[in-house]
Structure 1
Amino acid sequence: MKLLGLVGTNANFSYNRKLLWFMKDLFPFVEIEILEIAGLPLFSEDEPELPAGISAMTEQLMGADGLIIATPEYDHAVPAALKSVLEWLSWESSHPLKELPIMIVGASLGKLGTVYAQENLRTILQSPGLEAMVMPGHQFMLSEAKTAFDANGNLVDAKTIKFLESSFGAFVDFVSVMGPVRQELLSLDALAGASEE
């Protein structure tokens, strides 16, 4: 199983990046490749073509079985940099997130974790042009992230790790079940598109 982990911020330091790298180490039985959004330009419909970084990300997404998005919470929503990337991907003609199984995780400094950002992200991912298959439930929200990791980038609380393992196990099952469904839906879309030509 090939999964991608998207760091949902362009900040140089991020607890969400730490979380994804911890997940990569914690779950070696699947392949998790970490993607960064730093350096990608702000979305604009005036651009004559897709930025090279978005095209490269699209190729990676098209070859993945699932996607994990780790989002911070800025003002009760996802960061502008992440929203911009999703706008590029919805504008992209191949719509690489369409029917792709997605798990949302998040880390923040506050006590509520990323509850508002995760709900905001779910709404965005279900919009026309994206139409992703977001895993229901199993929302992993890491609160008080500043004290959640040790010096080596590992989560320190056993209950937190156990819940992450449970949530990720549910995502692996979700990808396994929905993967064939996704292929069937994409095939039907392709046939419908061909018949309209």
Structure 2
Amino acid sequence: MAGLHFVGISGSLRRQSTNTGLLRAAQKALPEGATMEIVDLSDIPFFNSDNPDKPASVQRVFAQLAKADALVFACPEYNYSIAPALKNIIDWASREPNNALLAGKAAAIVGAGGGMGTSRAQYHLRQVCVYIDVHPLNKPEFFANAFAGGFDANGDLTDPQLQKMLADQMAALARWATQLKA
């Protein structure tokens, strides 16, 4: 597991997002030897294939993705589906030659939202992963109710049981990424 580098991508642009809070908690819960950086999507323009230019913000994220051994998607649920910011960066990255920034990488999916967490959006994201050739971890899954008291006012995860589940998922992701790289 030593030397693994994860890149966390939150589909939420809110400063106090519980989904981005899950990524911060995941950073603290990584197995020994793994690191993770969180991508900032706040300045990423909408993908438009009529414009071949890649703005500096997109190039910055591409550089982060290029270094990733695995991805951690924090997947909010908007209208039963994937948040636009998350889908947008996937669309940008998937257009690189040979899908080199995404193809073959291991991924974990986490999410915090209403009633069922973000289960519907996560299943949609898994469908997208098939096309972009990203290999999501099947188990353990991670769904959290953002409104059940497990997060503080800043969106940070405070529930010990959820923290343990997240740590277990990060350990499983490290094993999965190592297996895929072999």
Equivalent runs, 1:71-110 vs 2, <5 Å: 71-95=75-99, 96-108=101-113, 110=114
- CA distance in 1 between partners of 2:52 and 2:39 (Å): 24
Equivalent residue number for residue 184 of structure 1: none
Q: 2:29 aligns with which of 26, 40, 60?
A: 26
Q: Which residue of 2 aligns with 1:11?
A: 14
CA deviation after TM superposition for structure 1 residue 135, in Å:
1.4
Q: Secondary structure at the match of 2:8?
A: strand
1:143 to 142, 145, 157: 145
How many Å apart are 1:45 and its aligned residue?
0.9
Aligned residues: 177
Q: CA deviation at 1:150?
A: 3.7
- The answer to whether the aligner puts 1:62 opposite 2:66 as a matched pair is yes
- Higher helix fraction: Structure 1 or Structure 2? 1
1:143, CA displacement in angstroms?
A: 1.0
TM-score (norm 2): 0.88
Report the structure number with the largest CA radius of gyration.
1
Q: Offset of 1:179 from its aligned partner? A: 1.5
Question: Given that residues 18 and 146 in structure 2 are in contact (C-alpha distance below 8 angstroms), is that contact kept between their aligned partners in structure 1?
Answer: no
Contact 1:15 1:145 in 2 (8 A): no
1:40 to 2:37 alignment: no
**1:12-61 Cα distance to aligned partner (Å, 9 max, x none):** 33111111111112336221111111110011111022222222222221
1:160 shift after superposition: 2.1
CA RMSD of aligned residues (A): 1.9
Partner of 1:173: 175
TM-score (norm 1): 0.82
Aligned-partner residue type, residue 8 of structure 2: G
The aligned amino acid for 2:14 is A
Between the two proteins, what is the percent identity of the paired residues? 30
Distance 1:90 1:177 in 2: 23
- Asked if residue 52 in structure 1 is aligned to residue 52 in structure 2, the reply is no
Q: Are the equivalent residues in 1 in contact too, given 2:7–2:71 (CA < 8 A)? A: yes
